[in-house]
Amino acid sequence: MTTDPGSNHLFGAIRAAAADSSRPFILSGAGTVTYGDMLDRSAQYANALVAAGLKPGDRVTVQAAKTIECLLFYLAVIRAGGVYQPLNTAYTLAEVEYFLTDAEPVLAIVDAEGVAAMQALCDRISGARVMTLDRGHPDSITDAATAHSAQFEDVARNSDDLAAILYTSGTTGRSKGAMLSHGNLLSNAQALCLVWHFSPDDILIHALPIFHTHGLFVATNVVLLAGAALRFFPAFDADGIIDAMPGSTVLMGVPTFYTRLLANPRLDRSKAGAMRLFISGSAPLLAETHRQFAERTGQAILERYGMTETNMNTSNPYDGARKPGTVGLPLPGTQIRVTAEQTGAPLPPGEVGMVEVHGPNVFSGYWRMPEKTREEFRADGYFITGDLGMIDADGYLVIVGRDKDLIISGGLNVYPKEIETEIDDMGGVVESAVIGVPHDDFGEGIVAVIVGETGSDLDGDAVQRHLAGRLARFKVPKAVHFVDALPRNTMGKVQKNELRKRYDGEFRRQTGDQPDKRVPS
């Protein structure tokens, strides 16, 4: 018997919500995992972790396929007082070396076929033990767990103790490990349960990866704290999700989920109509996608905004206007302000500046990077998100883009979103990304990269002419490219750094014998 279930800050709350052990937690083709099963199996894993040498505060790195075992294992690490450290499954061994050196886990979990190579790496750099969640392997922690008791005394952890380290994607320099405490995760999941009206009757379609804050914390912790169920998908599957809608209540997705669902002719009111909520986040949802989804299904997608370091910050309201193109209002307990980047002075509504966040959801800093941590917090505790935004007349936050995506052309600030919105509104355009690349005269020159509709005869000149009638001249892209698709990561974020690399030479005068005819006059 667990003697003091409340002493583990996060899991104590999950345990309290799991009071009815016969209720379903995970529904999948392979069967149902009840809350009782979840408690038993995560206890067995927690015992196996302790047997493998885990002590409170030790890191456990997990680079493994999305499986039900992996979700139960995450809970076991929390129960055992460990620090969960998931890694994107796409990372190569060479990339993983940095994370292992930095996080210094005692245990690394990988898929069976990767055990030998990962163990060789760990022997060289850290000495961590490598195991797998897959069954039938000599180093299977799942097989080892079956021999352990289904009782575990949860390790006491308070709200400030670390529960997880999630590395940022590191598009500007080295990836940083965001230290997330039990209190960060619990307070955020509680706020989301409240504002999104979660109840034990909910069945959430879970098709997100679980190495990222969205699928691991937002989707999973909210379900657990509500005592609700999740319908498990190992990956996005448009037909499977559409078929699951009539028996489910909520979908959490990245914007790409919604564009892919819309591309499927089987999506209609009869499928989506009974769902109570569609949520989008992790990247901007096009207002057009919002409109098309509402037209097809009768459902207004609810957009929210968050990041690895802060968990979720804002959400459009459950009751009340869900405004396309905005990320809504601050969550209960969270404060948002928009400031002048250089001085940190708060700006009035309507002015674009740096989005800063404060609240119990905000992380305590970057793992072993005190300098970086100091740079990204204001003296009064607000975290400088790196996102540019403004607060509209109704108090809704509008994200204009990442600070690093801001274009400075001829000394003037240009917000890509403003130009992208104009382009996206043009007939024949699916979507666009606007970037700045080095320009010999202007510092940065603006490039528009556009995905056109099939069969559209729109060309770059027409785009430039259209924009010239609507935007100041310095904002009109000096080059326009049409592509089949924008480069995106697994969370649906457009990889602007990829585009900047691709078009880097666009406006540089060439020294060779091939003059660049695209250099504008």
DSSP helix/strand/coil, 48: helix
Q: Tell which one of 47, 85, 181, 308 touches ligand AMP (CB under 6 A).
A: 308
Q: Which is nearer to ligand AMP, 290 or 439 (CB)?
A: 290
- Give the C-alpha distances (Å, rounded to integers) separating 164 from 153, 157, 212, 352, 448: 20, 13, 11, 33, 38
Record the tokens describing residue 236, joined without a space.
């996005």
Give the strands of the sheet with 353-358, arranged side by side. Answer: 335-339, 353-358, 383-391, 397-402
Residue 402 contacts ligand AMP per CB under 6 A:
yes
Question: H or E segment at 142?
Answer: helix 141-146
Least distance (Å) from ligand AMP to the CB of residue 128? 25
Q: Tell which one of 213, 220, 299, 334 touches ligand AMP (CB under 6 A).
A: 213
Residue 307 contacts ligand AMP per CB under 6 A:
yes
CA 355 to CA 214: how far, in whole Å?
20
Residue 30 CB neighbours (<10 A): 10
Least distance (Å) from ligand AMP to the CB of residue 445? 23
Record the tokens describing residue 305, joined without a space.
């905004």
Of 155, 161, 228, 154, the residue nearest 189 (C-alpha): 228
User: Segment near ligand AMP (CB under 6 A), from 107-115, 225-233, 305-313, 464-472?
Assistant: 305-313
CA 361 to CA 190: how far, in whole Å?
10
Q: Tell which one of 215, 284, 365, 416 touches ligand AMP (CB under 6 A).
A: 284
CA 103 to CA 148: how far, in whole Å?
28
Are the CB atoms for 232 and 206 separated by under 8 Å? yes
Q: Which is nearer to ligand AMP, 76 or 399 (CB)?
A: 399
Residue 84 contacts ligand AMP per CB under 6 A:
no
Least distance (Å) from ligand AMP to the CB of residue 7? 30
Question: H or E segment at 272?
Answer: helix 269-272
How far separated are the first and last CA of the chain, in Å rounded?
77
Q: Which residues contact 346 (CB under 8 A, 6 or more apart)?
A: 337, 338, 339
User: Segment near ligand AMP (CB under 6 A), from 202-210, 242-250, 277-285, 498-506?
Assistant: 277-285
Residue 399 contacts ligand AMP per CB under 6 A:
yes
Least distance (Å) from ligand AMP to the CB of residue 452? 23
Q: Which is nearer to ligand AMP, 8 or 326 (CB)?
A: 326
CA 83 to CA 74: how far, in whole Å?
9
Q: Tell which one of 327, 331, 467, 494 touches ligand AMP (CB under 6 A).
A: 327
Q: Tell which one of 58, 134, 387, 444 touches ligand AMP (CB under 6 A).
A: 387
Record the tokens describing residue 15, joined without a space.
């345990």
Least distance (Å) from ligand AMP to the CB of residue 326? 9
Q: Per-residue x/- mask for ligand AMP, residues 165 to 194, rule CB under 6 A? A: ---xx-------------------------
CA 138 to CA 120: how far, in whole Å?
16
Q: Tell which one of 24, 209, 281, 436 touches ligand AMP (CB under 6 A).
A: 281
Least distance (Å) from ligand AMP to the CB of residue 67? 22
Least distance (Å) from ligand AMP to the CB of residue 387? 5
Residue 144 contacts ligand AMP per CB under 6 A:
no
Q: Which of residues 485-504 bind ligand AMP (CB under 6 A)?
A: 491
Q: Which is nearer to ligand AMP, 177 or 227 (CB)?
A: 177
Residues in touch with ligand AMP (CB under 6 A) = 168-169, 213, 281-284, 303, 305-308, 327, 385, 387, 399, 402, 491
